[in-house]
Amino acid sequence: MLKIDTNRIIIIDDELSYREVLARSLSRLDYETEHFSKPQDAMPSIKNIGECIVLLDLKLENDSGLIWIESIKKANSKCYIVLLTGYSSISTAVEAIKLGADDYLAKPITAREIISHLQKQNSKIEITINEKPMSVARLEWEHIQKVMQDNDGNISASARALGMHRRTLQRKLAKKPVKN
């Protein structure tokens, strides 16, 4: 596991207000921040910054953060990449880790929560595996999220792929994720 020992953070998110608020909050917590709306704009900073944390949004305006993970790692192997997303699912998390992301966090998340999570990553944590399998409702939620990802967030296409009415899918998506 990569040891996180830096106070430099690069934020890549297409939502300007979220990016600015997060950067300002991290600055108040004594972190040096830079923020960009597009990964290609951030690449020069990533190449030259040395060790850093990159907070990369999954859903960028016309892009996916997933396709940028390998490029960021190639540009700077000392970057600790955290994929942030409002569309969390197990399949997306697994794909992000396979591509080289170091971590995966669900939005909405505050600067303090991000830092707290990163500090926990530095300490040894014993992980216990839950013997109880996921509930059917949770499995359904995960499957819907995977189909939504496969259809680039298009609800109509996802509803067709799932064999359900679009409004039914919208109602299911409006609910909070089901606990295990």
CA–CA dist 55, 172 (Å, integer): 29
Pick the more confident residue, 62 or 3.
62
What pLDDT was estimated at residue 130?
A: 58
Q: Give me the sign of the Cα torsion angle 142, 147, 152, 154.
A: negative
pTM for the full model? 0.68
> In this structure, which long-range contacts are made by residues 99-105, counting pairs with CB atoms below 8 Å and at least 24 apart in sequence?
99/66, 99/69, 99/70, 100/69, 100/70, 100/73, 101/56, 101/69, 102/2
Boundaries of every domain in the chain: 8-122, 136-174
Q: Please state, in angstroms and rounded to a whole number, the distance separating the CA atoms of residues 85 and 65.
A: 9
Longest dimension (CA), the chain: 50
Superfamily of domain 136-174: Homeodomain-like (1.10.10.60)
Q: Which tens digits make up the pLDDT trace of 41-79?
A: 999 999 998 899 999 999 888 888 999 999 999 999 999
CATH for 8-122?
3.40.50.2300
Question: What whole-number distance in Å separates Cα of residue 20 and Cα of residue 26?
Answer: 10
